[in-house]
Chains A and B, each alone.
Chain A
Amino acid sequence: SQQGEEDPQALSIQEGENATMNCSYKTSINNLQWYRQNSGRGLVHLILIRSNEREKHSGRLRVTLDTSKKSSSLLITASRAADTASYFCAYGNNRLAFGKGNQVVVIP
């Protein structure tokens, strides 16, 4: 199956710092999504970036997409303790494939 690969797998930062995580994929895509999952909860959609977009912002989130490298990054600026979660990229043209996820811990 098509699985995105996020890097790094786990990240621990202090509140107020920025958190960056990456995702790579293997096929051509029309768009890529990022989701967040808090412990014991379902996933929540964060942002979608289309293949003709290079960068997109939503609040404290910044997503980039490099289709030539088949990679995307998610940046969370000025992190908060509430940002502690797992973050997944998801992509696919018919069926969404989710990556393995990045665990982010924001220390107050």
Chain B
Amino acid sequence: EAGVVQSPRYKIIEKKQPVAFWCNPISGHNTLYWYLQNLGQGPELLIRYENEEAVDDSQLPKDRFSAERLKGVDSTLKIQPAELGDSAVYLCASSLGTGAEETQYFGPGTRLLVL
């Protein structure tokens, strides 16, 4: 069974440019998460979807970040415009159900560098 797929794996952009990340969760997983991971830190939740509904987006900087999960499967995370401080790894994860007890399955992440 394929795991969580993310693309691109690496992205280098100049500040003020837009950037988008794509995630395909494990088939059948209803819950999808986007995390931001800074160097030497643990992941921090940006947004959580249950099917196509964003149920926890309180940590998403909505002035520049947006996300969507059309049809409750694939998801995209967008930053516009990107700032230097957005350089980080963006991780996507999925789980069968919701709740903190669920095992989350992570993709390899997209490493973003903003110059």
Contacts and interface: CB of A to CB of B under 8 A. Distances in A.
B80 interface: no
Interface residues of chain B: helix, strand, loop or mixed (majority): loop
B45 A96 contact: yes
A30 interface: yes
A98 B44 contact: yes
Contacts of B45: 95-97
A106 B99 CA distance: 34
A44 B108 CA distance: 10
B112 interface: no
B2 interface: no
B25 interface: no
A8 B85 CA distance: 27
A77 interface: no
Interface of A: 1, 3-4, 29-31, 33, 40-45, 48, 88, 90-101
Interface of B: 4, 40-45, 48, 56, 59, 91, 93, 99-101, 103-109
In the A-B complex, the 4 residue pairs with the smallest Cβ-Cβ separation, listed nearest first, are A42-B106, A98-B42, A43-B106, A92-B100
